[in-house]
Chains A and B, each alone.
Chain A
Amino acid sequence: MSPTTFVPLDPGMTSEPQEEFYTLPPGGTNARDEESGSFLPSQATVKPIRNEVIIQSLFDDRLLLRKPVHVSIEREGESYIARCDLIEEFGYGRDMLEAVDDLRLTVAELYWTLKSGHANLGTDLGRIYRDLQELIAEVRR
């Protein structure tokens, strides 16, 4: 596990967190139904499931994806499969984003597992670890 770097505050600095709070406009810039123009659709509109989702973060705030990753979505019976061809990993879920979140968790766990034993990895796992290192950066804070 990568150690967190703590930066002590210089004298004179306040302890207020450096944050920005953004509020999207009240009423919504796009809360209107595109077709009818009404504030919200009176009838349900159903959009088909995407067949691809782009991610650039994992469920681990110690890790960053260096570039956007395209995740393909497939349906298998009642379940959804999120597939990342770049690293040949899969996620599963009851719905599209549950599968994507499962994939993100899997990738993060795989990275730490391979990193902890990288000195003893075989050819295949060593290749996977190198692919992950190209894809993932550790966050230093």
Chain B
Amino acid sequence: MNQETERQTPPSPIPLAFLLCDQVISDATTRKKTIIGVFDRIEISQFPAQYGPVSVYARLVAGEGHYKAIIEVVRLVDLGDENAGRMEGDVEVRGGTNMELGVQFPFITLHGEGRYEARLWLNDRYIHRFPFVVLQRQVEQRSQP
């Protein structure tokens, strides 16, 4: 991105909240949001696994203009970032309004145990992240009667 393009790009909003949860409910009348089931760890018995649905909620302030939003979920591995899910879309923010962003992944793909992150990018700028952990659930071995 050259300097002229950077100057024309709208300012990045300031993140106030960025969460991973089971569900985000929006009241049709009051427009209030209810966040259900915030979590920061997932236990899986076998990998690879598709886990979902998973929702991401973000609340930001001081934004205005057109944004290309990307929310990605990655596993942090030694060589880089292992893709677990990705959504992108265009968002138009009116001046003077706060911004809430909601995304529901039907599922995310978990290839193994480890540290994961949900990340928010707006116009290719890093905004915020939500780290979480995926663990392999130990299955109890039942003794024979």
Contacts and interface: CB of A to CB of B under 8 A. Distances in A.
A4 interface: no
B88 A24 contact: yes
B96 A139 contact: no
Contacts of B103: 23-24
Contact of A20 (B6, B97, B105, B125): B97
Interface string A10-39: 000000111111111111111100000000
B94 interface: yes
B13 A21 contact: no
A27 B71 CA distance: 13
B79 interface: yes
Contacts of A101: 129
B6 A100 contact: no
Contacts of B48: 42, 44
- Interface residues on chain B, size class: 35 or more
Contacts, number: 139
Contacts of A29: 87-89
B105 A41 contact: no
A107 to B, nearest CB: 14
Contacts of A23: 101-104
A9 interface: no
Contact of A44 (B83, B89, B124): B83
Interface in B51-98: 61-62, 69, 71, 74-77, 79-83, 85-89, 91, 93-94, 96-98
B30 interface: yes
B125 A19 contact: no
Interface of B: 1, 6-7, 9, 11-16, 26, 30-31, 33, 48, 50, 61-62, 69, 71, 74-77, 79-83, 85-89, 91, 93-94, 96-109, 111-112, 115, 117, 119, 124-127, 129, 131
- Counting from the closest, the 10 A-B pairs by CB-CB distance are A56-B12, A24-B89, A44-B111, A28-B87, A48-B80, A21-B100, A19-B98, A46-B80, A22-B91, A54-B125
